[in-house]
């Protein structure tokens, strides 16, 4: 019997920074990256500080794994048309903030940017996307490779291993049918539930750590405020959408009225007669009459 748990986006700010709960985050990352991930530490940077403006909408955390790679996890609840640009900025910022002053470029850490979004970002049929940087020859169509010396020096196999790597999880596109352990995590991200038959790494610990009943009074109050804010954001977005659609309908109706009025003017009808057949005012019809002349 599954039970409703704390949302992952709230927990990642409040609970998963505790070293005792690293196993939950490690489980998620291990399933997504298809490797055994161990978190070394949670890093602080300007990009993952909570502010009054973004704390209910944007959630991100910067971690460093045992391989000294930087992993940025960002969660976005509401639509942003320029979210791709923010992904590029966030990865670049993590990269530059964690290069020591005066260090050589070879010290740059690999950045893995994981973006969990609750809106339809871009156009695509899948719900999980991975992006890497490769260099393709314009003429030969071959991929640019590291030399043997570079591979030995950098301890990297491919050019793409140096550049930031991106993951996008479009939670709302998931159909709630879990066919593998990664899907089990996506199901949890979407529904805040862990089914009894789920076997994915970290979910058993999440089921324990994210039990709402374990929250103290202050945490419970903060969590309820967060849920209320999400409802408010969703309502605001819905209202803006309805207003935009209504404006389009009104504009289309007005455009049609003008076309009808122009035809009636050609037939010699009076301003009053045209006003009765359209939603135009006498002044608007008179303006059309002057433009016609």
Contacts of 24 (CB under 8 A, 6+ apart): 11, 16, 202, 205, 206, 209, 210
Instruction: Check residue 48 and give its pLDDT.
Output: 47
Q: 120 and 82 in one domain?
A: yes
Q: What is the chain's mean pLDDT, rounded?
A: 87
Could you tell me how many residues make up the chain?
Answer: 293
- For the stretch 131-146, pLDDT in tens is 999 999 999 999 999 9
Q: 244 and 192 in one domain?
A: no
Instruction: Check residue 289 and give its pLDDT.
Output: 84
- More confident position, 55 or 224: 224
Q: CA dist 252 to 186, 245, 246, 265, 286, Å?
A: 41, 11, 10, 20, 21
Instruction: Check residue 44 and give its pLDDT.
Output: 63
| Mean pLDDT of the 170-181 span | 95
Q: 29 and 161 in one domain?
A: yes
What residues make up the domain containing 198? 8-214
pTM of the predicted protein model = 0.76
| Inter-residue contact 205 to 220 (CB < 8 Å) | no
Strand partners, 165: 112
Structural domains of the chain, count: 2
Look at residue 1 and tell me if it is in a domain: no
pLDDT at 232 over 70: yes
Look at residue 3 and tell me if it is in a domain: no
Q: 145 and 76 in one domain?
A: yes
Percent of the chain with pLDDT over 90: 46
| Confidence class for position 109, pLDDT limits 50, 70, 90 | very high
Q: 209 and 236 in one domain?
A: no
| Confidence class for position 158, pLDDT limits 50, 70, 90 | very high
CA angle, corner 132, sides to 129 and 136, nearest 5?
125
- For the stretch 40-99, pLDDT in tens is 888 764 444 454 444 444 557 888 888 889 999 999 888 888 999 999 999 999 999 888
Q: 155 and 22 in one domain?
A: yes
pLDDT at 221 over 90: no
Whole-angstrom distance, CA of residue 254 vs CA of residue 247: 10
Strand partners, 129: 168
Look at residue 248 and tell me if it is in a domain: yes
Instruction: Check residue 54 and give its pLDDT.
Output: 47
């Amino acid at each position: 019997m599954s039970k409703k748990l704390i949302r992952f986006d709230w927990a990642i700010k409040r609970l998963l920074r505790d070293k005792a709960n690293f196993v939950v985050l490690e489980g998620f990352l291990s399933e997504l990256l298809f490797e055994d991930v161990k978190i070394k530490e949670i890093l602080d940077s300007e990009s993952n500080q909570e502010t009054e403006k973004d704390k209910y909408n944007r959630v991100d955390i910067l971690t460093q794994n045992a391989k000294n790679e930087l992993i940025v996890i960002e969660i976005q609840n509401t639509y942003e048309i320029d979210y791709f640009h923010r992904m590029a900025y966030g990865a670049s910022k993590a990269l530059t903030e964690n290069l020591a002053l005066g260090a050589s470029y070879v010290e740059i850490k690999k950045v893995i940017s994981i973006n969990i979004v609750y809106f339809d970002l871009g156009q695509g049929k899948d719900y999980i996307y991975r992006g890497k940087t490769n260099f393709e020859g314009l003429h030969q169509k071959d991929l640019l490779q590291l030399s043997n010396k570079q591979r030995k020096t950098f301890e990297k196999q491919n050019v793409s291993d140096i550049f930031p790597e991106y993951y996008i999880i479009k939670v709302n596109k998931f159909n709630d049918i879990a066919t593998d352990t990664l899907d089990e995590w996506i199901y949890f991200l979407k529904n805040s539930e862990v089914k009894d038959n789920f076997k994915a790494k970290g979910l058993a610990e999440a089921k324990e750590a994210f039990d709402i009943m374990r929250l103290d009074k202050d945490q419970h109050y903060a969590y309820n405020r967060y849920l209320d804010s999400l409802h408010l954001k969703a309502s605001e977005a819905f209202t803006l959408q309805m207003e935009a659609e209504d404006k389009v309908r009104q504009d289309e109706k007005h455009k049609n009225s003008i076309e009808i009025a122009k035809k009636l003017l050609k037939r010699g009808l009076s301003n009053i007669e045209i006003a009765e057949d359209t939603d135009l005012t006498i002044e608007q019809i008179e303006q059309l009459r002057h433009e016609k002349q």
